Amino acid sequence: MEHINLVETFSEFKEFKNIERETMMRILEDVFKHMLEKKYGSADNIDIIVNIDKGDLEIWRYRNIVDDNNIEDESLEIAYSEAIKTEPDFEVGEEMSEEIKMADFDRREILSIRQNLISKIQEYEKNNIYNKYKERIGEIITGEVYQVWKKEILVLDDEGIELILPKSEQIPTDFYRKGDTIRTVVSKVEMRNGAPVIILSRTSSIFLERLFESEVPEVYDGLITIKNIVRVPGERAKIAVESYDDRIDPVGACVGMKGSRIHGIVRELKNENIDVINYTENSSLFISRSLSPAKISSIKIHEDDKKAEVYLKPDQVSLAIGKGGFNIKLAGKLTGYEIDVYRETPDIDSEDVDLSEFSDEIDQWIIDEFKAIGCDTAKSVLDLNVDDLVKRTDLEEETVNEVIKILKEEFE
């Protein structure tokens, strides 16, 4: 019996090896039924038997045998005179079965079947990829860099599915070449023009959270809870952790013996400085911990507008603010408070003068710039060199020099 050989007829089948057998059968049945319906007017009396393993299918059409003059529906009935040409023993009222072969389809019909088949399979594969990765949002993916462009990187997963890592989702110091292995987190999945687009990220806080889960068993098992994560990718990150078991030190477990656990995460994030902080409901203590490594002298909390005034010794101010102001910015995001730092002036230094006293000579916005970095007195400004002051504030070097000149005159 000459069955329709799918693999030989449609060479495109060789490209679709990852589709489940049941799904492929359903797609084939739908495509052929659609064509048979167009060809014969109805497919209700047609059986399609698919054998994916052998790569063939059988199509059988069933029609009732009626008198030559009593045909009402040619798609469901066949004239007696036609039926006996196939089998002379047929009688009126019997059902006749006939096999439909590939030769029964003309060239245009075969082309239409092929196009519909490819279209249906591709549509299925696209939806399959979309649904698969929709469920994997927030998961770490290890892939291979396939192409590096100016605005994004094309990554292939272990099944050859294309993933996108935009420049905005890369750590500033990231540098990859074709063939490199890359670890990212699935950030979002969307359909664009009918095709799935999987966006990856290395700057997401979720990426850092998943890295902790993979390196710290207590986090993965839920013994340690990550309360919040804030990052400036490639520069600094702060992570607040909590343990409901008093026997477990959450910070110590996350850092590991001699930093063994956190070192792998730091390397993956291109030496991003990570502060692991023990979470507490005590706002003052939490703010104090979040400004680590600086040591706080005292804190005033204003709960109404979520502000905190932090007082530190002069040598601790720069530590609290941190390089580029990242430490204090991240501490504010982590705790949810707007943090202002103030330099604690020793009582014995009666000669020092508050910067506000110079408002007649220095513009208020310039004074505010210095106060924002913890320099609220004349000597606290003079204790720092010009380069430091320029880097920490948004002031020009010329402005800083003019302020220093005015302040020095006060003590001469």
Q: What CATH number is attached to the domain comprising 176?
A: 2.40.50.140
Q: What angle do CA 201, 207, 212 make, to 5 degrees?
A: 165
Q: Based on the domain organization, do 15 and 87 belong to the same domain?
A: yes
- The pLDDT assigned to 136 comes to 94
Q: Based on the domain organization, do 146 and 93 belong to the same domain?
A: no
pLDDT bin (cut points 50, 70, 90) of residue 21 is low
Structural domain includes residue 275 = no
Structural domain includes residue 274 = no
End-to-end CA distance of the chain: 112
Q: Which of 58-72, 326-340, 351-365, 392-406 has the highest mean pLDDT?
A: 326-340
- In whole angstroms, what is the distance from residue 166 CA to residue 199 CA? 7
- In whole angstroms, what is the distance from residue 334 CA to residue 227 CA? 9
Range of the domain at 100: 4-131
pLDDT bin (cut points 50, 70, 90) of residue 39 is confident
Residue for token digits 């019909």? 109
Q: Based on the domain organization, do 43 and 75 belong to the same domain?
A: yes
CA torsion sign, 217 to 221 to 223 to 226? positive
Structural domain includes residue 350 = no
Q: Based on the domain organization, do 72 and 142 belong to the same domain?
A: no
More confident residue, 102 or 13: 102
Q: Which of 89-98, 121-130, 153-162 has the highest mean pLDDT?
A: 153-162
| Domain tally, the chain | 3
| pLDDT (mean) for 255-274 | 92
Q: Of 131, 159, 193, which residue is a domain's last?
A: 131
Structural domain includes residue 42 = yes
The partner residues of 51 in beta bridges, in order of sequence, read 56
- The pLDDT assigned to 18 comes to 60
Q: Based on the domain organization, do 100 and 182 belong to the same domain?
A: no
- In whole angstroms, what is the distance from residue 203 CA to residue 180 CA? 19
- The pLDDT assigned to 56 comes to 67
| pLDDT (mean) for 393-406 | 88
| pLDDT (mean) for 267-279 | 93
Q: Of 203, 221, 241, which residue is a domain's last?
A: 203
Q: Of 80, 99, 131, which residue is a domain's last?
A: 131
Residues of the chain with pLDDT > 70: what percent?
Answer: 91
Q: Based on the domain organization, do 84 and 124 belong to the same domain?
A: yes
In terms of DSSP bridges, do strands 152-156 and 162-166 run parallel, antiparallel, or are they unpaired?
Answer: antiparallel
Structural domain includes residue 197 = yes
CATH code of the domain covering residue 114: 3.30.1480
Structural domain includes residue 333 = no
Q: Based on the domain organization, do 115 and 162 belong to the same domain?
A: no
Q: Where does 114-254 show beta strands of DSSP type E?
A: 140-148, 152-156, 162-166, 181-192, 195-201, 224-232, 236-243
Residues belonging to the chain? 412
Q: Could you give phi then psi for residue 299, rounded to 5 degrees?
A: -135, 140
Structural domain includes residue 163 = yes
Q: Based on the domain organization, do 107 and 179 belong to the same domain?
A: no
Residues of the chain with pLDDT > 90: what percent?
Answer: 41
Residue 10 is encoded by which pair of tokens?
A: 């449609």
Q: Based on the domain organization, do 114 and 142 belong to the same domain?
A: no
How many Cα atoms occupy the beta-carbon half-sphere of 357 within 13 Å?
Answer: 11
Q: Based on the domain organization, do 161 and 146 belong to the same domain?
A: yes
Q: Could you give phi then psi for residue 6, rounded to 5 degrees?
A: -70, -45
Write out pLDDT tens, residues 198-209.
999 999 999 999
Structural domain includes residue 12 = yes
Q: Based on the domain organization, do 8 and 118 belong to the same domain?
A: yes
Over its C-alpha atoms, the chain yields an Rg (Å, rounded) of 37
Q: Based on the domain organization, do 123 and 175 belong to the same domain?
A: no
pLDDT bin (cut points 50, 70, 90) of residue 53 is low
